[in-house]
Amino acid sequence: MTTFEEIRPVETRFRLDQEIMAGPIYRKYEKAARTVWDPKQLDYEPDAADWERMTEDQRAGIAMITVRFEAGEQEVTDELLPMLAAAHALGRFDWVMYISTFMQEEARHSQFFTLWHARVAGLLTPAEKAAYWPLREHTVDPHGRFKVGEPVYEGLPKYGKQLQNAVDSGDEVAIERAFVQFATLYCAWVEGVLTMPSYEIVIDTTELWDVLPTLRFGFRRILSDEGRHITFGTQSCRILIERNPAYAELVHKVIDEYRGNAVGMLEYQRNVPGLDLDKYQRQKVRHYLNRCREMGLTADDSLVAQILDPEIDFVVGVEAG
Amino acid sequence: MAALRWRCMEVGCDTVVTAPTDELLVEAVTAHAREAHDSYELEEVILAGAEDGTPDEEKI
């Protein structure tokens, strides 16, 4: 008769050791555990008063970004599970511990935006929020060279499904490949480059207009959390790429698939009055080069040149709603 | 003697920041990003991009 000890030796039941606890991913877990914040404890009254005083253009410019964030945070909360399953399948317990905080933080960000819309902007229903959502199809490259995709609503479910299928297959190489693709899209490209201008736009404009202190506070707290998400993704990719350098090509391919989303400013990012859009393009390049450095990869110079090329920009053809 | 070194990746900016500790590096890079680029670098990003420094590196 097989004993329980033979099925699962006692020594294998302990996952957390001193080496793991000294590592960079475990450190992120500890930091996340120390920096929990509660959106329900924030004071939304000053923002509500500001909202009443703001012009309709100012409100629309901000709301076009915040409704994207609310939905985006909910989407990523809901699409993160395959990454956790993959960390488990790869036997990386420090990654499992960290991703548990990552998921909770995305849920907290979802809560923050839902509360802010309800208490400040009076946006309660999906229809009220959708009225501030210009469709992605309305952003076009007038020269037809680039296509703007939906990395969050099309890409993450696609790569998440591939990752889950790899986990189900039990094939370690397949899991590692799919993990690199998912982490590249989610952490390095969406969180680490594409959404960065939106944070800066909200922080810059609310400072300039001296309004919405709670929204600005929330964005800063979210950015602090995102810093861990981004660098978890890039550091875990680096670990896997160092094991198998062929994975580097996967990173470039995923980014190339959504190259169009970086070469111009998107519809919801260009409606705030008075912005210097070139500043945010330059910063996208800096963020991209940071991600490459963190992953130990050589940057794609043609992508950098295209992001900075003033001849490449998009037009927005149709108003929101 | 600086123990940590961080290079700014903004296009056209070759600034290298050096500092003896994580905390001082984050403080110095944050100040550089704000003053030179009207922007920010996230703490975790700064630490992830930091390398061991050498004493003769340019300092700010």
Q: What is the pLDDT of residue B1?
A: 59
Query: What does pLDDT average to over chain A?
Result: 92
Instruction: Provide CB contacts within 8 A for A51, sequence distance 6+.
Output: A59, A120, A121, A211, A212
Q: What is the pLDDT of residue B34?
A: 94
Amino acid at B47: L
Task: Kindly tell me if the per-residue pLDDT of A321 is higher than 50.
Answer: no
Q: What is the pLDDT of residue A144?
A: 76
Q: Which of A:7-46 have CB within 8 Å of B?
A: 28
pLDDT > 90 in chain A, percent: 75
- CA dist A204 to A74, A161, A181, A200, Å? 24, 37, 32, 6
Q: What is the pLDDT of residue A157?
A: 98
Q: What is the pLDDT of residue A255?
A: 97
Query: Is A52 part of a structural domain of the chain?
Result: yes
Bridge pairing between strands B16-19 and B4-7: antiparallel
pLDDT tens column, A151-188:
999 999 999 999 999 999 999 999 999 999 999 999 99
Task: Kindly tell me if the per-residue pLDDT of A276 is higher than 80.
Answer: no
Q: What is the pLDDT of residue A315?
A: 63
The per-type count for chain B, helices as H runs and strands as E runs, is: 2, 3
Q: What is the 3-state secondary structure (H, E, C) of chain A?
A: CCCHHHHCCHHHHCCCCHHHHCCHHHHHHHHHHHCCCCHHHCCCHHHHHHHHHCCHHHHHHHHHHHHHHHHHHHHHHHHCHHHHHHHHHCCCHHHHHHHHHHHHHHHHHHHHHHHHHHHHHCCCCHHHHHCCCCCHHHEECCCCCCCCCCHHHHHHHHHHHHHHHHHHHCCHHHHHHHHHHHHHHHHHHHHHHHCHHHHHHHHHHHHHHCCCHHHHHHHHHHHHHHHHHHHHHHHHHHHHHHHCCCHHHHHHHHHHHCCHHHHCCCHHHCCCCCCCHHHHHHHHHHHHHHHHHHHCCCCCHHHHHHHHCCCCCCEECCCCC
Specify whether the CB–CB gap between B43 and A228 falls below 8 A.
no
Please tell me the least confidently modeled range out of A174-188, A209-223, A240-254, A275-289. Answer: A275-289
Question: How far A89 CA sits from the closest chain B CA (Å)?
Answer: 26
Q: What is the pLDDT of residue A320?
A: 41
Q: What is the pLDDT averaged over residues A63-75?
A: 95
Cα(A101)–Cα(A182) distance, rounded to whole angstroms? 18
- ipTM for the assembly: 0.90
What does R_g of chain B's alpha carbons equal in angstroms?
A: 10
Q: What is the pLDDT averaged over residues A11-39?
A: 94
Contact B11 A286 (CB under 8 A): yes
Query: Is A187 part of a structural domain of the chain?
Result: yes
Task: Kindly tell me if the per-residue pLDDT of A221 is higher than 90.
Answer: yes
Which tokens sit at A320?
A: 């929101």
Q: What is the pLDDT of residue A243?
A: 96
- B21 contact A CB<8A: no
A230: nearest CB among B37, B38, B45: B45
Question: A86 or A1: whose pLDDT is higher?
Answer: A86
Minimum CA–CA partner of A228 in chain B? B44
Query: Is A116 part of a structural domain of the chain?
Result: yes
CATH code of the domain in which A207 resides: 1.10.620.20
Cα(A58)–Cα(B34) distance, rounded to whole angstroms? 25
Cβ neighbours around A28 below 10 Å, total: 24
Query: Is A21 part of a structural domain of the chain?
Result: no
Minimum CA–CA partner of B9 in chain A? A286
Q: What is the pLDDT of residue A233?
A: 98
Contact B44 A200 (CB under 8 A): no
Question: A277 or B6: whose pLDDT is higher?
Answer: B6
Q: What is the pLDDT averaged over residues A38-64?
A: 95
Cα(A224)–Cα(B44) distance, rounded to whole angstroms? 8
Query: Is A8 part of a structural domain of the chain?
Result: no
Q: What is the pLDDT of residue A141?
A: 74
Residue B3 three-state SS: coil
The domain of A137 spans 42-316
pLDDT tens column, A82-141:
999 999 999 999 999 999 999 999 999 999 999 999 999 999 999 999 999 876 666 767
pTM across the whole model: 0.92
Q: What is the pLDDT averaged over residues A243-269?
A: 88
Query: Is A7 part of a structural domain of the chain?
Result: no
Task: Kindly tell me if the per-residue pLDDT of A317 is higher than 70.
Answer: no
Task: Kindly tell me if the per-residue pLDDT of A319 is higher than 80.
Answer: no
Which tokens sit at A118?
A: 């309800």
Question: A129 or A204: whose pLDDT is higher?
Answer: A129
Minimum CA–CA partner of B48 in chain A? A294
Query: Is A105 part of a structural domain of the chain?
Result: yes
B11: nearest CB among A223, A227, A282: A282
Minimum CA–CA partner of A229 in chain B? B44
Contact A231 B45 (CB under 8 A): yes
Q: What is the pLDDT averaged over residues A209-221?
A: 97
Task: Kindly tell me if the per-residue pLDDT of A302 is higher than 90.
Answer: yes
Task: Kindly tell me if the per-residue pLDDT of B55 is higher than 60.
Answer: no
Task: Kindly tell me if the per-residue pLDDT of A273 is higher than 80.
Answer: no
* Number of domains present in the structure of chain A: 1
Amino acid at A40: K
Cα(A72)–Cα(A154) distance, rounded to whole angstroms? 12
